[in-house]
A and B are shown apart, each in its own frame.
Chain A
Amino acid sequence: DTGVSQNPRHKITKRGQNVTFRCDPISEHNRLYWYRQTLGQGPEFLTYFQNEAQLEKSRLLSDRFSAERPKGSFSTLEIQRTEQGDSAMYLCASSPTAGGYSNQPQHFGDGTRLSIL
């Protein structure tokens, strides 16, 4: 179990630039989640995939945000025309499909910290 891997760990960019983050989930997990966490707060849900299908998106995910999981394995989160308010830690998590409707714990990566200059 190599865990959830996120790259890069840190990203510093100028306002208005586009950025892309990558998440590699635990290989046998077919569910993948993106969260955003600002300093001193808990993570906030952004979006969720089951295999390659994006099944839920938060209202926090504005038009400038897009997430993909093209082959049901790794995922990318892109932010276009970055703004100061996008500065945060972006966390990815994965979980296996549970039998029935019981929820499974989510396994988190160490995140990508985005700083907008």
Chain B
Amino acid sequence: SQQGEEDPQALSIQEGENATMNCSYKTSINNLQWYRQNSGRGLVHLILIRSNEREKHSGRLRVTLDTSKKSSSLLITASRAADTASYFCATAGYQGAQKLVFGQGTRLTINP
């Protein structure tokens, strides 16, 4: 079963705009990770944020985590056509947990 929900399910924006995706989860976590998946391909790890962190940056990506609200957001700035993909959040439930529980994903389309 899925851990949580992602919002929106689909997002279409113009190249150069910022894209924001949200993820909510249900149980306490050790860390939360974001992955990207291009059509027909495997998942690519983007960023990991631990439960004691509130914000993390990597290039054009910014992730926030609010454990009191059990939610996270992924911001992609200055979007490019190559950012078109599905984006998934995944949670690890406790220290040492190896199983990742994924959300349903947000399908992002960047229009040139």
A-B contact pairs, 6 of them (CB 8 A): A42-B102, A43-B88, A43-B102, A101-B30, A103-B48, A103-B98
Residues of A within 8 A of B105 (CB): 40-42
Residues of A within 8 A of B45 (CB): 105-107
- B-binding segment of A14-22, A64-72, A77-85, A108-116: A108-116
When A and B form their complex, which 9 residue pairs have the shortest distance between CB atoms, in order from nearest?
A: A42-B102, A108-B42, A105-B45, A101-B95, A108-B43, A101-B96, A110-B42, A45-B99, A103-B92
Residues of B within 8 A of A106 (CB): 43, 45, 100
CB of B104 within 8 A of CB of A41, answer: yes
> When chains A and B are docked, how far (Å) is the Cα of A43 from the Cα of B42?
10
Return the CB mask of B42-55 against A: 1 if under 8 Å, else 0.
11110010100000
A contacts with B, residue count (CB < 8 A): 28
Residues of A within 8 A of B102 (CB): 42-44
Whether B41 is near chain A, meaning CB under 8 Å from some CB there, is yes
CB of A56 within 8 A of CB of B42, answer: no
Residues of A within 8 A of B68 (CB): none
> When chains A and B are docked, how far (Å) is the Cα of A65 from the Cα of B104?
24
- With A33-B100, A56-B98, A106-B45 already in contact, 18 other A-B pairs whose C-beta atoms are closer than 8 Å: A33-B98, A40-B105, A41-B2, A42-B2, A43-B88, A43-B102, A44-B1, A44-B102, A45-B99, A48-B99, A50-B98, A55-B98, A95-B98, A101-B96, A103-B97, A107-B45, A111-B42, A113-B40
CB of B99 within 8 A of CB of A40, answer: no
CB of A91 within 8 A of CB of B104, answer: no
> When chains A and B are docked, how far (Å) is the Cα of A105 from the Cα of B95?
14
A63 → chain B closest CB, angstroms? 20
Instruction: Given the known inter-chain contacts A31-B98, A40-B104, please indicate yes or no for A105 contacting B42, CB distance below 8 A.
Output: no
A43 → chain B closest CB, angstroms? 5
Residue of B nearest to A109 (CB): B42
Whether A26 is near chain B, meaning CB under 8 Å from some CB there, is no
Instruction: Given the known inter-chain contacts A41-B104, A42-B2, A103-B31, please indicate yes or no for A108 contacting B96, CB distance below 8 A.
Output: no
